[in-house]
Amino acid sequence: MDYKELGDKYILHTYNRYPIVLERGEGVRLYDDKGKEYLDFAAGIAVYALGYGNKAFNDALKKQIDLIMHTSNLYYNEPACLAAKELCEASHMDRVFFTNSGTEAIEGAIKTARKYAYLKDGSTDHNIIAMEHSFHGRSMGALSVTGNAHYREAFEPGIGNVRFATYNDLESVKKLVDDKTCAVIMETVQGEGGIYPAEDDFIKGVRKLCDEKDILLILDEIQCGMGRTGYMFAWEKYGVKPDVVTMAKAIGNGVPVGAFAMTEKVAEHSLVPGDHGTTYGGNPFACAAVREVLRQFEESHVVEHVKELTPSLTKALEELKEKHDNVCDRRGAGFMQALELTVPCAPVIKKAQENGLIVISAGANILRLVPPLVIEADDICKMQEILDKALTEA
Q: Compute the distance between CA of residue 26 and CA of residue 143 in angstroms, rounded to an integer.
A: 35
Q: Where along the chain do the CATH 3.90.1150.10 domains lie? A: 3-53+301-393
Peptide bond into 157 cis (omega under 30): yes
Q: What's the predicted TM-score (pTM) here?
A: 0.97
The arithmetic mean of pLDDT across residues 55-78, rounded, is 97
Q: pLDDT digits over 1-10, tens only?
A: 899 999 999 9
How is domain 56-299 classified at the CATH fold level?
Aspartate Aminotransferase; domain 2 (3.40.640)
Q: pLDDT digits over 315-363, tens only?
A: 999 999 999 999 999 999 999 999 999 999 999 999 999 999 999 999 9
Q: Compute the distance between CA of residue 243 and CA of residue 135 in angstroms, rounded to an integer.
A: 19
Q: pLDDT digits over 16-66, tens only?
A: 999 999 999 999 999 999 999 999 999 999 999 999 999 999 999 999 999
pLDDT for 83 beyond 90: yes
Query: Residue 247's closest CA among 232, 237, 236?
Result: 232
The arithmetic mean of pLDDT across residues 257-276, rounded, is 98
pLDDT for 370 beyond 90: yes
Q: Compute the distance between CA of residue 327 and CA of residue 361 in angstroms, rounded to an integer.
A: 14
Q: What are phi and psi of 373, to 5 degrees?
A: -75, 0
pLDDT for 394 beyond 90: no
In words, the CATH class of domain 3-53+301-393 is alpha beta
Q: Where along the chain do the CATH 3.40.640.10 domains lie? A: 56-299
